[in-house]
A and B are shown apart, each in its own frame.
Chain A
Amino acid sequence: MSNEALYIEAQEDTPMVKHEKEGDSNVITIAGVSMPENTLDFYVPLLQKIDQICSGTKKNKLVFHLEYMNSMSNKQVLKLISASFKNDPELKVIWRYSKGDELIKMKGEEMRLIIDGVDFSIEEAITL
């Protein structure tokens, strides 16, 4: 298990990422705008970092509240969830969407169908 801290400040086109401990488990929150022109530059190192943090731990949580997500980010987010689920079959994903945001809600529903077996809840966010 790694105690490395993870906090990435939100930029114009990339989301805020933060890590908190909840007992022995980890909660990773990803929120804001995700529309970088080169998604790999942002998501490849992020995936490695999350992998390090969550290594050997169970019942981790990935919490998303994306205001905008371009289609290229969508695949990277799915990769991140898939990889985390592979390492932690008890992973919980919480996918939040803003009121009236049909696309972000739909994206959550699609990913829930694709990653079979993951505990994946979709909920309307109260505030961002």
Chain B
Amino acid sequence: MQLKEQLINDTSGLPLIVYYRGNYEDISTETLINIIESNEKLANRKSQLRKVMFLSVEAIQNIQRYSAHKGSQSDFYLVFFDGDSYQVVTQNLIHNEDSEDLKARLDALVSKDVSELDELYFNKMESGETTEKGAGLGLIEITRKSNKSIRYEIKKVDEEYSLFNLYFALPINIKEETVFDFSKAISIQAKLDQLSAASESCFYYGGDFSNSFISSLLGLLVSKKAEKKSNDNKKVHHILIELTQNIKKHAQFHNESARGRIFIEWKDEHIEVSTYNNSQLDNAKELQKKVVDLNGSNKEQLVQKSKEVLADLESTNGLGLIDVANLIYPNKINVSVFNQSNDHVGLLFSIQINNE
């Protein structure tokens, strides 16, 4: 089984997962938060989702402020909801010389009880004590608001750098303090590490595919500085709109799990977009036939097909995949099928958009 398929299956029970790995100097915090917020309608406990958003701002800004920013592949933010709790993992590169100080600060925070943390927080607020990179309130805030579930790891990479991982959780049933088991987060993180290793940056999402999500996703792409240099970004945006709306249109779900999955991988030569959703067997067969036909068509034939489907105003035939085939030509649409049951099947679409 391919890595993406494994990851889809391993995360299939998660109603929400958002992951972005790349250069955090390059994107705005707000765009990632908006993506989480676009799932508000589906959240059972909206107050917890708001809290996740609030603490995620702190966590993402910590990456932006404190990362050593050597190579964009190391830094990431991951959040997921498994029905019981929201779990957040961040990773950023730090200079080895800073690791002892960071460790001491975190150990000191973890050793305090909630009232001591509150006192520390308000003292810092009142004193107006700030550093060049902020007041250092972010970690205190995350520690106190996550019921001290935080855990961290600092792993030396080489003589100059270490990787800093921060974990925290917000369970739906709030307890005073939580000794949290992050084994699921660590296992998902390991798969995402493998997947994103060959990319300059990587985005993975599962959740609601409403238009609010699509707008937020386009916001993330627009905020990527590298995107602005490329005339191709509009092409990517059009393709994302069609593929994500296809997920919503065709996906069949019987439970609370996410409606589908999307991967965006920014590589040296191209951007790869993959989408996954369940579909009824008959519908999936039709789509596969359509893809074979589109992949066998040359540019003129694709333009002609588009014109014919468009001109037939009464027909409900979709133009979406024809548009995608046109935009990525001469590349092809790749579709693979897995997780087949008697009446349903999982469809994974992948396309590559060349950088010009």
Contacts and interface: CB of A to CB of B under 8 A. Distances in A.
Contacts of A113: 307
Contact of A13 (B211, B232, B306, B327): B211
B189 interface: no
Given A101-B234, A102-B234, 19 more contacts: A12-B212, A13-B214, A35-B211, A68-B237, A70-B245, A70-B320, A71-B318, A71-B320, A71-B323, A74-B310, A74-B319, A75-B319, A98-B234, A102-B327, A103-B235, A103-B323, A104-B234, A111-B310, A114-B310
B323 A35 contact: no
B238 interface: yes
Interface string A1-23: 00000000000110000000000
B313 A13 contact: no
Interface of A: 12-13, 33, 35-37, 68, 70-72, 74-75, 78-79, 82, 98-104, 106, 110-111, 113-114
B341 interface: no
Most chain A C-beta atoms within 10 Å of own C-beta, residue among B212, B235, B238, B242: B238
Interface residues of B, number: 28
A10 to B, nearest CB: 12
A44 to B, nearest CB: 13
B228 to A, nearest CB: 11
A107 to B, nearest CB: 8
Interface of B: 211-212, 214-215, 218, 231-232, 234-235, 237-238, 241-242, 245, 248, 303, 306-307, 310-311, 313, 318-320, 322-323, 326-327
22 contacts: A12-B212, A13-B214, A35-B211, A35-B241, A36-B211, A37-B211, A37-B245, A68-B237, A70-B242, A72-B245, A74-B310, A74-B319, A78-B310, A78-B311, A78-B313, A98-B234, A99-B231, A102-B327, A103-B234, A103-B235, A106-B326, A114-B310
Contacts of A110: 303, 306-307, 310
Contacts of B327: 102-103
Contacts of A75: 310, 313, 319
A102 to B, nearest CB: 6
